[in-house]
Chains A and B, each alone.
Chain A
Amino acid sequence: MFYREAGDFKTSYQADSQTFPIKFDRYRYYVVLAIAFGIIPFVINDYWANALLLPFLIYAIAAIGLNILVGYCGQVSLGTGGFMAVGAYACYKLMTAFPEVSMFIHVILAGGITAAVGVLFGLPSLRIKGFYLAVATLAAQFFLVWLFNRVPWFYNYSASGQINAPERDTFGIIITGPNAPAWATYLFCLIFLTACALIARNLTRGTMGRTWMAIRDMDIAAEIIGVNPLKAKMTAFAVSSFFIGISGALFFALYLGAVEVGEAFGIQKSFLVLFMVIIGGLGSIFGSFAGAAFLVLLPVVLKVVGADMLGWPTDIVAHLQLVIVGGLIIVFLIMEPHGLAQLWRVAKEKLRLWPFPH
């Protein structure tokens, strides 16, 4: 009834290839942006920021990054945690070496450094595919964590082996360290997420995205019609790692504040982000958001419902969460390999025809 594309005519190819071709979608997007930028910063408090919003924003960036690699280019990666660690440690080294430079620059540079590392570890993808590539990226994961544990230069020779985010500001507003106000860290992450999502969307709807998807769908045919596989795969690794590096930097500097690499960026992190991408939907930017929101919300909802309302012991609730996530992944892989994004798409198709069945 309300959701119609009929009558929504396009008169130029630009208008036809825009991100939200349907008017309703476009307005909803503006409303979401207005709420996120205009309302939430005024009502946010520390609990909401730390329990929900910051992890959602940061994981969404990581999920977009991984989705570009796995969902759009078809290259499996289990090294997300390692690449997030590169972003975090790059950001830490930059923050301590150049304290007067804005955090914006540090985070972007950390992304750039991660992109370079990602390309390096992406080189095996030219020769190997599928499971073998997954194992190669797993090696990257373990190597990077080992590196940041064992080489003291990376953690500035601190006695604990941890890295701690010093207090830094941008435009005079403190955004890292314990004194940073919730709204500032939230806005900082939101700006990065918005920019990353826009860039990801622009890349995936244009030439670059088509070369990635061509490699994903049929790499031999892609090469024969003119896709340079080296370029396509390396740009996918670079762009993906860039986003993952940014999320790692934010995760460390704004969210955790102090990081022990094996704990924060271990193999579990790689799997968590991969689960977000799978549950959310491979090859969909919206799916990255949905997957991140789902896996961030789930423990909180379970805790509120299970522990607070029903009075279950907290350890049971924690275990229940593992059971549910595991079960959901199996369900999604069998029932809907394209994840929440596909469910959303199907729902929209139904809505478009409602109240008629066909």
Chain B
Amino acid sequence: MLDASEGYTTADGRKIGGVVMEMKNITLRFGGVVAIKDISFDIREGEIRAIIGPNGAGKSSMLNVISGFYVPQEGEVWFHGSRRPAMRPYEVARQGIARTFQNIALFEGMSVLDNVMTGRLNYMKAGLLSQALWRGKAEREETENREAVEKIIDFLEIQHIRKTPVARLPYGLKKRVELARALAAEPKLLLLDEPMAGMNVEEKEDMSRFILDVNDEFGTTIALIEHDMGVVMDLSDRVVVMDYGKKIGDGTPDEVRNNQEVIDAYLGVAHD
């Protein structure tokens, strides 16, 4: 298996660095229901890490633990070499973790531009007075961050809907705007919760290309949940497989594909 400190080289020759995020023995319970049972895995710098599993396996709960929305009862979350104390989700966001949601969670009443600009809140420091007068720091920040946001908008090819209210957009574009909002934060770790759910083949291809481009161009570390096995196997460098809250497999797509437990979980197994 892999060494904890050093990276590895992927099949297509990309260098993967050290551990960015490490989950150590995470257990998450909702009352009597155990959503995640003693799971450990790591995410390394620059890699695309997938979390897969059948429905109800605890994938989304895992993502919610990473983004700070759920606090696990047991276990530790290590981010950039230090243990993360219990903190509010917005503090986790400040640390450089951005995410998208399974059911699009855009701000429907705002334009695309404003939605993407909210992704840059961490870079906005102007005080109330400066903002009220639209002078000095507030105006400067607005322009600087607008420039950064425009780069993301160009990158994801959504220039034409910049000023459109989000509520008017079709589903596929909303997904893309949500990705733009997460990217605007220039995250160290990007979490994608089913980025291709409900898309047709063409939209899936677009989204896959964007995910690969993001990883390639910005070197962003990505953790994603996805049900489309073809997409997962093509995109990801390493895969965690979950079933009923437990980890049943972890490794490269090929390793996972040939793992008997994984096959059993997906295809079912005869019980005697």
Contacts and interface: CB of A to CB of B under 8 A. Distances in A.
A208 B128 contact: yes
A81 interface: no
B121 A211 contact: yes
Interface stretch (A153-161, A165-173, A226-234, A258-266): A226-234
B146 A227 contact: no
A66 B87 CA distance: 32
A213 B132 contact: no
Contacts of A14: 139, 142-143
A305 B98 CA distance: 60
Given A203-B132, A206-B142, A207-B131, A225 B121 contact: yes
A35 interface: no
Contacts of B107: 213-214, 216-218, 221-222
A16 B111 CA distance: 14
B216 interface: no
Contact of A226 (B69, B90, B110): B90
A13 interface: yes
B147 interface: yes
B203 to A, nearest CB: 22
A206 B131 contact: yes
A59 to B, nearest CB: 22
Given A13-B143, A14-B139, A225-B181, A235 B93 contact: no
Given A17-B146, A210-B117, A229-B90, A224 B99 contact: yes
Contact of A202 (B94, B108, B133, B181): B133
Contacts of B232: none
Contacts of B92: 224
A-side interface mostly? helix
A190 B102 CA distance: 49
By DSSP majority rule, is chain B's interface helix, strand, loop, or mixed? helix
Interface residues of B, number: 42
Interface in A55-82: none
A46 interface: no
B126 to A, nearest CB: 7
Contacts of B133: 199, 202
Given A211-B121, A225-B98, A228-B90, A202 B142 contact: no
A299 interface: no
A225 B147 contact: no
Interface in A188-224: 199, 202-203, 206-208, 210-211, 213-214, 216-218, 220-224
Contacts of A206: 126, 131, 134, 138, 142
A226 B109 contact: no
Contacts of A17: 142, 146
A283 interface: yes
Name the residue among A199, A202, A207, A218 with the largest chain B CB count within 10 angstroms. A207
Given A207-B138, A225-B119, A220 B105 contact: yes
B88 A213 contact: no
A75 to B, nearest CB: 14
A207 B124 contact: yes
A207 B88 CA distance: 20
A222 B69 CA distance: 12
B159 interface: no
A112 B199 CA distance: 51
A2 B230 CA distance: 54
A210 B118 contact: yes
Contacts of B185: 225-226
Interface of A: 12-14, 16-17, 199, 202-203, 206-208, 210-211, 213-214, 216-218, 220-229, 235, 239, 283
Interface of B: 67-69, 88-90, 92-94, 98-99, 101, 105-110, 114, 117-119, 121-122, 124, 126, 128, 131-134, 138-139, 141-143, 146-147, 150, 181-182, 185
6 contacts: A206-B142, A207-B124, A210-B117, A216-B107, A223-B89, A235-B128
